[in-house]
């Protein structure tokens, strides 16, 4: 699901481990971008202060120049420096205002530069670091977590951080400075009227808090319903062929209608609350404005009301009217900033949670690079289960002499691929050990192990890019001639040449669609080009037609002649010449030997061979029953 998942659901387990994620964010990522932060911070102050210059000067001009009821005096400037002529005073005032606009504009620019680059840099660093950590996690992690959850962290959560660091922090400093500066000016000008004008502030704070409390659960509801809607749409688009074939368009339309309506309802509920909040706020600030206007207005034309005392000049009154208006909105926006902060907090918890997830496959600190000599491989009493509840493979013991080919044979689900994944160290064995030329895999560095192994699996994945890039993947910088040679050995050259742009044709998710067999041949060419010490072919030619398979087989014979090779194949004819055949059933080795030995033994292998050779129609009842039992078991665990 590439959607905004509900915060509560995702990574609950890892979130708990993260203490004070925002502080960590600033400590780990803020420091490098401290310059941008300081520029943003200082410019925010500068821009805000300069914004207040025009109303301040206007108030002074009203009293000193237009009404002439006060001497002309500017804050922070000695009176002796000021002109006494009213015309000159007016020009000076206008000049300062114009200067404030120009310098203010420059500050606005540096402020946005500072905050934006601060946020963008951190966003970039956090995303690339998270991705880097994530792809080094072990396979169990990817099996457990939905791709959508991970995508959601890498995109939504990182974006939310950026939004807070940019808009949130920018607004926070801007508004805080504004509120403090205005409060100071008002209190300095006339503290009594200031108390009247600011009296509405606590009311606004309470009102905003109430609004946040009410709207937050509604937003959570919206997020969860948009998640459901998106996953339904994504699911349906993925399964469109099934929908058409099953003629269930109306049924699916109804289902989409339902989830869309849930989203509509949730959204409307939130909108309904939101659209009442802002008029409410306007009303409150209006009350504050009217009260200040009445009290201040009466004061200017006559006497101060009630306990108020002293003088209030018209210009001061104008200043109050101008500034109280500017004061109210920032107060309301604090609510929004708190909201952004909370979301950023939750997001950074998830991001650091992901970064802190330990990998079960760990390289020993004293691991040495694996040096493959002869290429002997030894499985020594290996047992392993994907989870703790049951062993998927048990007591696997066999060895392969360097340069030999061993075939793993057995029914689906017997554990053949699992054995190979253990050799690749996608998982670590629970018991026993796997050794290459006597070195336990766990004592070798992981990159050196993977470099020594070439792996072609049944599920061939092509990256978006050209055919050539896909063949070169992992052997970057190969000569084109070598790429073509590898493609020829994998029987892929012919069809690649017939593609619209040959080796430069784009394939993969958004590229030209290739058949399963063609993809497998590209994957095979990739392994051939890599020229590994040990080759693992896990149903590497299962999707290729029999004729092509025979052609590939010829090349493979050359390729595997002096190379330790593991082959898993359903079509037994392709592995019958292997030096050793190991037959697995239910995670255990049940037979081993050469093709001829095994036929003679007349066990599972001989039966499988007979079925494939067409000598008998079907497997004896006992095997079929066992297969059915196994299937049922697998399905039961899949349902869990």
List residues near ligand ADP by CB under 6 A: 143, 386, 392, 410, 412-418, 634
- Sequence-separated (6 or more) residues with CB below 8 Å from residue 106: none
**Least distance CB 138 / ligand ADP (angstroms):** 11
Q: Which candidate, 592, 591, 157, 169, places its Cα nearest to that of 351? A: 157
User: Which residues, listed in sequence order, are joined to residue 377 by a DSSP beta bridge?
Assistant: 400, 436
> Residue 545 Cβ, how far from ligand ADP at the closest point, in Å?
22
DSSP notation for 509-574: TTSB---HHHHHHHHHHHHHHH--SEEEEESTTTTS-HHHHHHHHHHHHHHHTTSEEEEE-SSGGG
**Three-state SS letters, 558-587:** HHHCCCEEEEECCCHHHCCCCCEEEEEECC
Please say which residue, 208 or 418, places its beta carbon nearer to ligand ADP.
418
Q: Which is nearer to ligand ADP, 405 or 468 (CB)?
A: 405
Residue 461, helix vs strand vs coil: coil
- Name the token pair of 520: 């497998």
Cβ distance 441 to 435 under 8 Å?
Answer: yes
The smaller minimum CB distance to ligand ADP, of residues 335 and 413, is found at 413
Q: Which is nearer to ligand ADP, 612 or 634 (CB)?
A: 634
Between helices 200-238 and 191-198, what is the axis angle to 10°? 40
Quote the least distance from Cβ 36 to ligand ADP, whole Å: 44
Q: DSSP class of residue 545?
A: -
Residue 521 beta carbon to ligand ADP: minimum distance, rounded to whole angstroms? 21
Paired strand residues for 434: 379
Q: Give me the least distance between CB of 567 and ligand ADP, in Å please.
A: 12
Nearest approach in angstroms of CB 143 to ligand ADP is: 4
Both tokens of residue 300? Answer: 């200017």
Q: Which is nearer to ligand ADP, 353 or 410 (CB)?
A: 410
Of 296 and 415, the one with the shorter C-beta distance to ligand ADP is: 415
Burial 555-593 (b: 16+ CB within 10 A, else e): bbeebbeebbbbbbbbebebbbebebbbbbbbbbbebbb
3-class DSSP string for 302-326 = CCCCCCCCCCCCHHHHHHHHHHHHH
Nearer to ligand ADP, 55 or 413 (CB): 413
Q: State how beta strands 431-436 and 377-384 pair.
A: antiparallel
The residue among 412 and 515 lying less far from ligand ADP, judged by its C-beta, is: 412
CB of 133 to ligand ADP, least distance (A): 21
Distances (CA, A) of 166 to 119, 126, 179, 199, 354: 5, 15, 20, 31, 23
Smallest distance, Å, CB 415 to ligand ADP? 4
**In terms of Cα–Cα distance, which of 128, 157, 129, 147 is closest to 355?**
129
C-beta of 128 vs 637, nearer to ligand ADP: 637
Host H or E run for residue 141: helix 139-144
DSSP, collapsed to helix, strand or coil, labels residue 158 as: helix
Q: Which residue has the tokens 């359903």?
A: 570
- What is the closest distance, in whole angstroms, from the C-beta atom of residue 565 to ligand ADP in the complex? 17
Residue with smaller CB distance to ligand ADP, 388 or 621: 388
Nearer to ligand ADP, 312 or 567 (CB): 567
Query: Minimum Å distance from CB 390 to ligand ADP?
Result: 9
Measured from the CB of residue 532, what is the shortest distance to ligand ADP in angstroms? 21
């Amino acid at each position: 699901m590439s959607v905004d998942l509900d915060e509560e659901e995702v990574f609950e387990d890892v979130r708990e481990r993260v203490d004070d994620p925002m502080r960590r964010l600033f400590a780990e990522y803020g420091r490098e971008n401290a310059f941008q932060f300081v520029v943003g911070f200082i410019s925010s102050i500068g821009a805000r202060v300069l914004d207040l210059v025009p109303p301040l000067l206007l108030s002074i001009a009203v009293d000193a120049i237009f009404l002439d009821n006060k001497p002309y005096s500017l804050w922070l400037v000695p009176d002796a420096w000021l002109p006494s002529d009213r015309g000159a005073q007016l020009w000076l005032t206008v000049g300062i205002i114009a200067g404030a606009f120009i310098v203010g504009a420059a500050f606005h620019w540096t402020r946005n530069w500072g905050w934006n680059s601060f946020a963008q840099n951190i966003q970039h660093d956090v995303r690339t670091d998270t991705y880097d950590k994530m792809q080094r996690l072990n396979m169990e992690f990817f099996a457990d977590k939905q791709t959508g959850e991970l995508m959601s962290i890498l995109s939504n959560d990182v974006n939310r951080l950026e939004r807070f660091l940019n808009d949130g922090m920018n607004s926070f400093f801007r508004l805080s400075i504004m509120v403090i500066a205005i409060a100071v000016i008002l209190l300095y000008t006339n503290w009594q009227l200031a108390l009247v004008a600011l009296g509405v502030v606590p009311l606004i704070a309470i009102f905003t808090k109430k609004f946040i409390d009410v709207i937050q659960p509604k937003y959570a509801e919206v997020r969860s319903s948009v998640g459901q809607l998106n996953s339904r749409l994504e699911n349906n688009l993925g399964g469109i062929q099934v929908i058409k074939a099953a003629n269930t368009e109306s049924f699916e339309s109804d289902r989409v209608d339902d989830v869309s309506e849930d989203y509509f309802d949730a959204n409307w509920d939130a909108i309904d609350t939101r659209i009442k909040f802002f008029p409410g706020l306007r009303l409150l600030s209006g009350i504050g404005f009217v009260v200040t206007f009445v009290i201040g207005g009466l004061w200017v034309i006559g006497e101060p009301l009630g306990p108020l005392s002293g003088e209030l000049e018209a210009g001061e009154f104008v200043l109050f009217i101008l500034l109280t208006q500017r004061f109210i909105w920032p107060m309301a926006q604090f609510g929004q900033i708190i909201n952004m902060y909370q979301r950023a907090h939750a997001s950074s918890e998830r991001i650091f949670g992901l970064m802190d997830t330990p990998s079960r496959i760990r390289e020993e600190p004293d691991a040495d690079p694996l040096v493959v000599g002869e290429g002997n491989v030894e499985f020594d009493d290996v047992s392993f289960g994907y989870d703790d509840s049951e062993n998927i493979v048990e007591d696997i013991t066999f060895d392969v002499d360097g340069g030999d080919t061993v075939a793993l044979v057995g029914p689906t689900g017997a554990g053949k691929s699992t054995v190979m994944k253990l050799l690749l160290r996608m998982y670590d064995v629970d018991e026993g050990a796997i050794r290459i030329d006597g070195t336990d895999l766990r004592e070798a560095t992981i990159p050196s192990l993977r470099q020594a192994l070439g792996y072609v699996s049944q599920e061939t994945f092509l990256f978006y890019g050209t055919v050539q890039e896909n063949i070169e993947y992992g052997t970057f910088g190969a000569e084109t001639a070598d790429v073509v040679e590898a493609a020829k050995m994998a029987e892929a050259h012919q069809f690649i040449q017939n593609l619209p742009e040959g080796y430069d044709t784009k394939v993969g998710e958004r590229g030209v669609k290739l058949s399963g067999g063609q993809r497998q041949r590209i994957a095979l060419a990739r392994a051939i080009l890599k020229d590994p010490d040990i080759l693992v072919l896990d149903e590497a030619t299962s999707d290729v037609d029999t004729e092509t398979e025979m052609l590939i087989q010829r090349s493979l014979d050359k390729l595997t002649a002096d190379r330790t090779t593991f082959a898993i194949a359903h079509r037994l004819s392709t592995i019958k010449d292997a030096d050793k055949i190991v037959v697995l059933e239910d995670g255990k080795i049940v037979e081993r030997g050469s093709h001829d030995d095994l036929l003679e033994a007349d066990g599972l292998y001989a039966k499988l061979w007979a079925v494939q050779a067409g000598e008998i129609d079907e497997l004896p009842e006992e095997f079929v029953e066992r297969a059915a039992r196994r299937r049922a078991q697998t399905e039961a665990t899949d349902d869990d």
